[in-house]
Amino acid sequence: MKTQCSNNRYCAGVAIAIFASVLVGCRTTESASTSPPSTPSSIPSPAATAPQTNAAILSEIQKQPVWVKPENAQSEVPGKQGMALKVGETIRTEGEALAQVELNSGLAFRIGGDAVLTLQPNNKLYLNSGEMITWVQPGQKVPAEIVTPGGIAGIRGTTVYVKIPKNPEEGTLFFSWEGSVAVRLPDLAEEIVLESGQEILIPKAEKDIAKLRALVRQLPLEEWRKRRQTSNLMGRFSKPLPTLSKLEEVEQKLKIPPSPRDNPRQER
């Protein structure tokens, strides 16, 4: 009787051990099948290693000093012709210095008059001071914005001039050399459209769109010609403006008195 009992206990122990072994094996297999494969730590993620690509080139400098301040940097470095520029960098001209920048997108601009301009994403140019002329290379349509403290100009393939006077009380000037330019205030969506040869001087703190539309002015032909002849941003660079042929077309149109149908009243 004792022998039989002992044998039964032995058999039961063996059975329990076998069952436990099978159960552990099942759990191990399940864990291995559901655990995601580990990523080798030696392979860095693309976001962590991708360098910031160049967005533009400082294609020409007329007189120095021209300065470039990298994003998040504490100090400026001297600008050099042929220098690559990245989004977030700021270009500054001092005194009579002038600079031309060409973006990879087809957008380009010239700045001067103690200008401070920062390259922003999506073809946005933030002009904090000075003057600039901006254009899109002929044959291209590049949506772009010129952002200033006093107003924003949207361009679609035109040549536009913007000036922020040294005295901010004088307002911000927007002038279309050729093509349509949509101007709006920084905190308003409603636009004021300038056509070729038209300008608007937006007074500081003016918010009334009706009053601003009344300030749109068409330059007479002689004043248009004089502005072109005396413009440093036009005449002091080694090459003519790429959109010069478009400007000559505008000059021809200004010789002909516009029909009322050609200048419809803007909706208020």
Among residues 106, 113, 266, 79, the alpha carbon closest in space to that of 182 is found at: 266
In this prediction, the residues of the chain whose per-residue pLDDT falls under 70 are 1-52, 256-268
Q: How far apart are CA 202 and CA 184, in angstroms?
A: 10
- The whole-number pLDDT of residue 122 equals 93
- The whole-number pLDDT of residue 115 equals 97
Residues 127, 141, 173: CA angle, nearest 5 degrees: 30
- The whole-number pLDDT of residue 241 equals 92
Hey, what amino acid is at 255?
K
- The whole-number pLDDT of residue 254 equals 82
Instruction: Enter the CATH code of domain 54-254.
Output: 2.60.120.1440
Question: Which phi-psi region, left, alpha or beta, contains residue 123 (left: φ > 0; alpha: ψ -120 to 50)?
Answer: left
- The whole-number pLDDT of residue 154 equals 94
